[in-house]
Amino acid sequence: MTIQFSQKEKSLLMDQKEHEEGCVDKYAKYANQAQDAELKQLFTSYSAQEQEHLNSINQMLAGQIPAMGGQQKQGQQAQNQQQTAGGNQGQMSPTVQGNYNQEDAKLCKDMLMTEKYVSSVYNTAIFEFRDTNVRQVLNHIQKEEQEHGEGIFQYMQSKGMYQVQ
């Protein structure tokens, strides 16, 4: 069974496709630019997850509901790896505020802003779809976008780039 989308739904999916393409490209580019090995790994992992999001959007544009099982496992594994790496880093060598690579901080700030935006656009799109299965897929992707934002925040906080006051 293929899903028939309204013009508005199709337009929203096309917007999400562009956002996911942008995220795949930015994370890959920033992984190459990052100085810190932990940040390179984080961005590389997120680029791969964004590619899965893009694949899901493309499947929906073709009228199919993507399976979410593999993505969930990848998302959980990457999140667990990031939490472990971030937690261990903080315990092994606490970072003094201001003692971090300024360029890495700029990359993180940009990606954190990007994730905030992309997550908010998914939030709006979810409410515009009639099909419950499509809403669930979009909600799953949005949750992973929020996890990316959390991972970047945790990385930044562990390096002294983001001070919670």
CATH number at residue 104: 1.20.1260
Does the residue 97 lie in any domain? yes
What distances in angstroms separate CA 58 from CA 9, 45, 65, 93, 137, one per listed residue? Answer: 13, 20, 10, 43, 12
Does the residue 165 lie in any domain? no
Burial readout 27-47 (b: 16 or more C-beta within 10 A, e: otherwise): bbebbeebebebbbbbbbbbb
**pLDDT value, residue 100:** 84
Q: How many domains, in total, are found in the chain?
A: 1
Q: Higher confidence at residue 69 or residue 134?
A: 134
Does the residue 103 lie in any domain? yes
**pLDDT value, residue 94:** 36
7-33 and 37-61 are packed helices; what angle lies between their axes, rounded to 10 degrees? 160
What distances in angstroms separate CA 132 from CA 26, 82, 118, one per listed residue? Answer: 31, 31, 21
Does the residue 163 lie in any domain? no
**pLDDT value, residue 90:** 38
* pLDDT exceeds cutoff 60 at 6: yes
Confidence grade of residue 88 (pLDDT, cut at 50, 70, 90): very low
pTM confidence score: 0.82
**pLDDT value, residue 68:** 77
Does the residue 118 lie in any domain? yes
User: Mean pLDDT across the stretch 135-146?
Assistant: 97
* pLDDT exceeds cutoff 90 at 112: yes
Q: Higher confidence at residue 98 or residue 10?
A: 10
* pLDDT exceeds cutoff 70 at 89: no
